Structure 1
Amino acid sequence: MNTTTMNPTVTAPADWRDFLALTKPRVLSLVVFTGLCGMLAAPASIHPVLGFTAILCITLGAGAAGALNQWYEADIDAKMKRTANRPLPAGRMDRQAALHFGVGLATFSVLLMGLAVNLLAAAILTVSILFYVLVYTVWLKRRTPQNIVIGGAAGAFPPLIGWAAATGHVDMLPVLLFTIVFLWTPPHFWALSLFVRTDYANAGVPMLPVVAGTKTTRTQVLLYTLPMVAAAVAPWPMGLTGAIYGVAAVALSGLFLLLSARVAFNRETDQAKMKPERQLFAYSIVYLFVLFGALVADRLVLA
């Protein structure tokens, strides 16, 4: 990135809505939810105040990562229709303000987690922020079509953080939750990138559909769905969850697999007509919410 590139002239001071937009609220909601589910599924109780503090720290840390991502990628965002109206490319905020906001949120979230909750949760939170900003945003995003594959780990940390906040350690179940989100990320984002690939091409981002084409991307969507389904179902036969989660995982993952297969065998090249890809992208968000919700319901029943 050319760090000397300036944003459009800032015509007025940014307001609270611009700072909120920096945190990527839509992404944030899923991150916070999986972190909360990781905490509630843990076999240990946590004081409500500490639990609230832990979720607040996850929220602030994820928001900080989103803000720093937008600070670094302001030039890319300006070239994409989907992101052109974000505060920085739209000229509603100065880059320096976004940088200070992101660094401040990150520092505060980690310090508060370490002082109020425990050091392990704070350490994992630190790794998640640094991974998203340095590994995904700075290193991978502009260099390789594997950016989503490796970078997907950044969004998979919240269940680990929630579990560690409640228990002070990490077990097999949160590792599997991490694995589910990690393997879910490529089909989720590749489904999106298939019907917005022109945006990525115009911005010079080497997303898989841009570099390898739609046929290869569709195949990869299905190939990554297979281990994701296995990871999602695995906690049930391993005895880590009960039937509520198990049945939900089988049903939800079966539908995910069906939608992925429809994407894999689709031959439509017109982005505006890529219905299977849009359906998979929309369902993938619902999938993760309901799957993790079923995990919590299962834990509450077993308790």
Structure 2
Amino acid sequence: MAVVENNRLNAADFGMSEATAGDYFALLKPRVMALVVFTAFVGLAAAPVAINPLEAMIAVICIAVGAGASGALNMWYDADIDAVMARTVNRPIPAGRVQPSEALTFGLVLSALSVMTLGFLVNWMAAALLAFTIFFYAVVYTMWLKRSTPQNIVIGGAAGAFPPVVGWAAATGAVSLESIVLFMIIFLWTPPHFWALALFKSDDYGRAGIPMMPNVAGHRSTRRQIFAYALLVAPVGVLPWVLGYTGAVYGVAAGALGAGFIWYAWQVLSMEDSDKTMRPAKSLFAYSLLYLFAIFAFYLADSLASRWMTVA
């Protein structure tokens, strides 16, 4: 029996993992993917062109798969720093459940599959934008910006802002000012959202050697910049109503949500340096997620309501 046990071969002997489907699903960063899919769907549904329901479903699935592919490539490249950060140490690669080469292959295959399917079955403008989004997140942000500059989130935030533009292009085959406004809402929302996280996770980022703003410029400077971005996010969130893309209900809701964003950012700005609980930063981080979901939900509701009234 001992001889049998000693000679038993398993996947680990060949440098492979015994990952489960759940591990591969985790590589897709499902929580991030959910927000990407929602904002992309809003861009698709709000576009002034009726799209075939089957094509719409294919587009949303392709965008979801592309977003997941970006997450897998990000986890492949960042496996070394994920291993030293408390919030990421249990991800599939640093935990040893998935081999880096498997994650890389998984991400590349999904990237190609999502882009080609979107191009052949929907349109190549949307496919090109999806390909650029994957490239921007995996290469420009993950491989270059993240470890080289405290502006990583500011510039890299463009990757997370592209989904509604991709959705819009899937419906119309083009990019418009309206879709760019949706892009700007997410682009300006990203720095205060992630810097709030970085404030109460600065030790984690410090151990990993990532130059997040609190670790480079200090907490006080980061809090001022968070507030400055909040002052930009709030009016840009109302811009769709100002430009006539939405009705007054959206305008009022966006104004109220923006005021809330500024209030939470003010609480962060007013924090004492001695506050170790980081409660205001945690509250802003949570509110910022609610803000983005709500602003896009109101935008979607307004677009669908306007379309329904036009048909009626």
TM range (shorter): over 0.9
1:302 counterpart = 2:312: no
1:1-303 mapped onto 2 (5 Å cutoff) = 12-271=17-276, 273-303=277-307
Q: TM-score, normalised by structure 1?
A: 0.95
Structure 1: gaps of 5 or more residues = 1-8
Q: For structure 1, which segment, 191-200 or 221-230, has the greater mean C-alpha deviation from structure 2 after superposition?
A: 221-230
Measure how far apart 1:228 and its partner are.
1.4
Q: 3-state SS of the aligned residue for 2:303?
A: helix
Deviation at 1:10, TM superposition (A): 6.9
**2 CA distance for matches of 1:100 and 1:38?**
30
CA contact (8 A) 1:54 1:165 kept: yes
Counting aligned pairs with the same residue, the percent is: 53
1:12 to partner: Cα distance: 4.7
Point out where structure 2 has 5 or more consecutive residues left out of the alignment: 1-13, 308-312
Please tell me the residue identity of whatever aligns with 1:209. Answer: P
Alignment partner of 2:35: what SS? helix
Confirm or deny: 8 A CA contact 2:70 2:137 kept in the other structure: yes
RMSD (CA atoms): 1.2
Write the letter of the residue equivalent to 2:298. A
Instruction: Give the CA deviation at 1:102.
Output: 0.2
SS in 2 for 1:187: helix
3-state SS in 2 of match to 1:236? helix
Secondary structure of the corresponding residue to residue 242 of structure 2: coil
Does the 8 Å contact 2:16/2:99 carry over to 1? no
Query: Quick one: distance in 2 between partners of 1:269 and 1:105?
Result: 46
Match of 1:3 in 2: none
Counterpart of 2:6 in structure 1 is none
CA offset digits 1:77-132 (Å, max 9, x no partner): 00000000000000111111000000000000000010010011001101100000
Structure 1 residues 187-210: Cα deviation after superposition (integer angstroms, max 9, x where no partner):
000000000100000000000001
Count of paired positions: 294
Aligned residue for 2:10?
Answer: none
Contact 2:185/2:233 (8 A) holds in 1: yes
Contact kept in structure 1, 2:220 and 2:273, CA below 8 Å: no
Higher Rg of the two aligned structures: 2
My pick for the range that moved more, 12-21 or 174-183, is 12-21
Please tell me whether the aligned partners of residues 60 and 105 of structure 1 are also in contact (alpha carbons under 8 angstroms). Answer: yes
Amino acid paired to 2:289: I
Normalized against structure 2, the TM-score is what? 0.92
